[in-house]
Structure 1
């Protein structure tokens, strides 16, 4: 038995966190879906399994449902779709769309009953609500099955840190149920447990710092009782790159700029940069340059320089300020920002507002105002 396990397509997600790039991100999820289908064809998979959350919710535009059905219908073999917690099987759900019935190879796993598949049997665990506290796999009893037994479920494997587990699944669920493999959805990172159960992860990364996502799994099971062979298939097309950059000395920002300039395939890259440390006056133009390059080349970018403070000992910050009250105020802020006692601790200030860090930030803001917004 050879099949492709995928999940958590979440077609119709808003992607509002990506601003004007949201539309491109939504379309990238269809691009990745087509790659899943093409990889299944290339690997001569017997069938495709979608382990829940194919859609963001049951209120998605019905045109998206038709597009997903058309995409999956391009696969020559059967496709099995499990309702997840984002798209549970409820009245009026996406699963009532006529597109599913229009192709006899598309099968909605609407009942918790085993069904025959090429070379084996599928044990689906569809969801009928958005939240739940019971293990959806608890009723699977495949131990006496003589054929290869594959479960399909959507939920949280025990031990994953979270505030409130939705549809908790025991770590020994596959062994307890007598399954050769348990195809899981819900979490977006590819992860395997004891060799017989795994999350495929989402087929296209959805946000920054979402590790091991943008994949599907090729599952090969030689016979009943054999350990599955899992191969990660790269399906994602977008790169969500997060850079955390300490700035300590002159030239450090130039290094960050060079790193941004060297990004491969920037048009498919979403970039966030966090800068922290001290900024020397000689490097202040590098901030604008980094922003310009990222804005011109990347699909999306944001730069957080809120923890980047002017080097308080650098008098060059004052050079461009006009003589008089502004420069005098800047010198006072510089002194406060640089007020270190002989024992290495900040001198006691009369209030929180005059702490060295706040004074350094105020100096930075004063320079920006006096120089017409330049930093």
Structure 2
């Protein structure tokens, strides 16, 4: 029997440019924290090895400090790690991996496989058939040699590769770095550990994507897991358990405001979020000024609770009612003309956001002036 953890797509060094500096720093740090969590789990579960199927680093140009920190994060597990370059950190002549070697920071229990071939672990009675990417994009199946690769007859055969299984994933995703969907069968593999797709996904009984360990985009494809894999005996189907490890949960909500009760419902949903959540919120619809202010307040309060928040309200039309205008003192005169002009500007897609913001600011200023 052999038991190992399968992970991939750590993409250490991701910049998170869509977020502000403070948010991005926390999200980047979480990727190290979750690597440490994987190491701790590997020790607690007493696995025989940890496999990382490519894209350990997000880019070749990460700093030396980032490289050192990554390998330092592995210290919680003293067993063997097998790491494979992917398309983001391909094994070029000069790469992040050659820099790591010069820095002399790769622990002795970490095997970085930079050339295609078979790595034998005699103590595990396992042959790891490894297909590292030696360039960012290839149009040939790098796992083809698995079919003819030799290994001892009494050893498990475990494949390790990074790419897109042809015809299985979403349309357009498998245009480069293709992998045959029948590779596990034709190469007589007990298990094929893949990276590239950022969600954990079963291709067939012996072929799995682990997905990224820490979610990094607003896509509902089951990221944030590692796979705990057990091979009981030669030829037996693997037992695969998806184990959640992610620190943050990324959510994308699309909300339409039609009636005031929609605002109440959204507010309740937002109140349930906390420090482990990253939210992208798209709000559209048409509402009165009082409801729009309630939405803004709920968003501002949420921003203080969650780890990161992106909000898009360009399609939310603010239409002040007669009572709104009376409360503002804007039923006539100069102020009334300003409100009317702002309402007209909301019909222009390029001005809608600014007009809605101006109406909300106007309401805030008027209320603050009366309170003073």
TM-score band, normalised by the shorter chain? 0.7 to 0.9
Q: Paired residue for 1:15?
A: 16
Report deviation, 1:119: 2.8
Counterpart in the other structure of 2:159: 151
Structure 2 stretches lacking a partner, 5+ long: 368-372
Which residue of 1 is the match for residue 115 of structure 2? 111
Compute the displacement of 1:172 (Å).
1.1
State which of 171, 179, 186 in structure 2 corresponds to 1:169: 179
**What are the Cα deviations for residues 326-366 of structure 1, in whole angstroms up to 9, with x where unaligned?**
525756987xx8xxxxxxxxxxxxxxx99799998897466
Counterpart position of 1:346: none
Is the Cα contact below 8 Å between 1:330 and 1:366 reproduced in 2?
A: no
Cα distance, 1:292 vs. partner?
2.1
> TM-score, normalised on structure 1?
0.86
Match of 1:349 in 2: none
SS in 2 for 1:254: helix
SS at match of 2:198: coil
Q: In the alignment, does 2:134 pair up with 1:128?
A: yes
CA deviation map 1:179-210 (0-9, x unaligned) = 11110001101001111111000000001224
Worse-superposed segment, 316-325 or 41-50: 316-325
Residues 333 and 18 of structure 1: CA distance in aligned 2, closer, same or farther (over 3 Å): closer
Q: What is the SS of the residue equivalent to 1:140?
A: helix
Distance 1:366 1:318 in 2: 14
Partner of 2:282: 274
Structure 1 runs (4+) deviating above 3 angstroms are 98-102, 142-145, 328-334, 353-375
The answer (yes or no) to whether the contact 2:39–2:75 under 8 Å persists in 1 is: no
CA pair 108-286 structure 1, distance change in 2 beyond 3 A? same
196-205 or 355-364: bigger deviation = 355-364
Question: Paired residue for 1:4?
Answer: 5
**Partner Cα distance (2:35, 2:323) in 1:** 54
Alignment partner of 1:316 is 2:323: yes
1:255 deviation in Å?
2.0
Q: Give the distance between the partners of 2:11 and 2:351, measured in 1 at CA.
A: 46
Alignment of 1:214-363 (within 5 A): 214-263=224-273, 266-311=274-319, 314-319=321-326, 320=328, 321=330, 323-324=332-333, 326-327=335-336, 330=339
1:367 to 331, 345, 359: 359
Q: Deviations over 1:216-246 (max 9, x none)?
A: 1011111111111110011100111222112
2: distance between equivalents of 1:106 and 1:31? 19
Q: Across the two proteins, how many residue pairs are aligned to each other?
A: 355
Tell me the alpha carbon deviations over residues 234-293 of structure 1, each in whole angstroms, 9 at most, x when there is no partner. 110011122211211113212212211122xx2222122111112123323212311321
